[in-house]
Chain A
Amino acid sequence: QVQLQESGPGLVKPSETLSLTCTVSGGSISRYYWSWVRQPPGKGLEWIGFIHYSGDTDNNPSLKGRVTISVDTSKSQFSLKLRSVTAADTAVYYCAGGKERLYYWGRGTLVTVSS
């Protein structure tokens, strides 16, 4: 059974870069697409983007080019970088397995943007 675990700082200062990593276990990272989804406190889900080990990747235009998603097959990890964060980027960030059909999910990690 594939398991996902997010890791990274829980607090990021405004204007800095949010960096999260998702470690995949129980399955090959080369087999699936991998995605990031976020959820502001008390609100709904927002799709951030996806990546495949082949390099196929895309992300939400609403994030205005601030997103980079990458994959490291040697470590069975994929990562999210979100630049120039503001308080509006405060959310629980989930990594997930799949491209548009998200069938594996991490537990999520809360990232707060605050000085």
Chain B
Amino acid sequence: DIQMTQSPSSLSASVGDRVTITCQASQDISNFLHWYQQKPGKAPKLLISGASNLETGVPSRFSGSGSGTDFTFTITSLQPEDIATYYCQQYTNIPYTFGQGTKLEIK
């Protein structure tokens, strides 16, 4: 199985801050990576597909980049409604696997 490692596991930031989360794959996954947002008590929501493609309706402050084994997810100006846990997911090989999640809190 491909292991996905996210850093950090938790993060505290202030409104307006730039926030960056990294996701590292245990082998080359090209750009076969998605990013999801999960708010407490809710289902995940797809934000970014194919490493860098913003889903329809997702605010432009969210972005993703990377290929191969190293990926980055960025929020350019943190908003209170962005409080959530964020997950990366690879889909190069079955089983599709998720990172362990990054819990984002407001400072």
Contact = CB atoms under 8 A, between A and B. Distances in A.
Interface in B73-107: 87, 89, 91, 94-101
B85 to A, nearest CB: 8
Interface in A35-72: 37, 44-47, 58, 60-62
A52 to B, nearest CB: 14
Interface in B56-83: none
A78 to B, nearest CB: 16
Nearest to B98: A45
A94 B98 contact: no
B95 A47 contact: yes
Give the interface size bracket for B toward A: 20 to 34
B94 A58 contact: yes
Contacts of A62: 1, 95
A105 B87 CA distance: 15
A99 to B, nearest CB: 8
Contacts of B49: 101
A100 to B, nearest CB: 3
B96 A100 contact: yes
Given A44-B87, A62-B1, A100-B91, A105 B96 contact: no
Given A46-B98, A101-B34, A108 B1 contact: no
A42 to B, nearest CB: 10
Given A100-B32, A103-B46, A105-B43, 4 more contacts: A44-B87, A61-B95, A94-B44, A100-B89
24 contacts: A44-B87, A44-B99, A44-B100, A45-B89, A45-B98, A45-B101, A46-B98, A47-B89, A47-B95, A47-B97, A47-B98, A60-B94, A61-B95, A94-B43, A96-B43, A100-B89, A101-B46, A101-B49, A101-B91, A102-B36, A103-B46, A106-B43, A107-B43, A108-B43
Interface of B: 1, 32, 34, 36, 38, 42-46, 49, 55, 87, 89, 91, 94-101
